[in-house]
Amino acid sequence: MASLAPLAKSKIKVRAAVKGMSVEQIEKLIANLSSVLMNEKKKEAARADAAKKAKIAKIKALMEESGLKPADLGGVKTRGRKKTTAKKRKVAPKYRLVVDGQEYLWSGRGRAPKVFKDYMDSGKSKESCAIK
């Protein structure tokens, strides 16, 4: 197996390459490849970290050269919409119903609570339990 690059593209080529190998040999091959993969990932992460540090150093040098400070960049506006979160407001109840000594309140929005639904299904109107 001089070059492994073609094996990365096809499972069929991998099967052909390991044909005749024992399970133990295949497991050893997988362990070795995993070890190589971990090392390559570490190297790649180190390269990315070094590139990031180099960019930061370059930006710091440009800032020193121009006399700018990080606080001067605070007013930089970004493109796009600002994310706003909707504030949920508590709605005052419009309807009150007393069943077995327990008071139930409903704002009139959304699906009616079960006690109000049962009350209205019995032929009574919701206006009869409106809070005045």
Is residue 62 within 8 A of residue 56, CB to CB? The reply is no
CB count within 10 Å of CB 44 equals 10
pLDDT given at position 78: 62
- The pLDDT value recorded for residue 104 is 93
Residue showing tokens 């070094």: 50
**Backbone torsions φ then ψ of 12, nearest 5 degrees:** -65, -40
Q: Across the chain, what does the average pLDDT equal?
A: 87
What pLDDT score was predicted for residue 39? Answer: 95
Instruction: Report the predicted TM-score, pTM, of the whole model to 2 decimal places.
Output: 0.46
**pLDDT < 70 regions, the chain:** 1-2, 75-80
Which sequence spans correspond to the domains of the chain? Answer: 9-70, 95-129
The Cα–Cα gap between 18 and 30 comes to 11
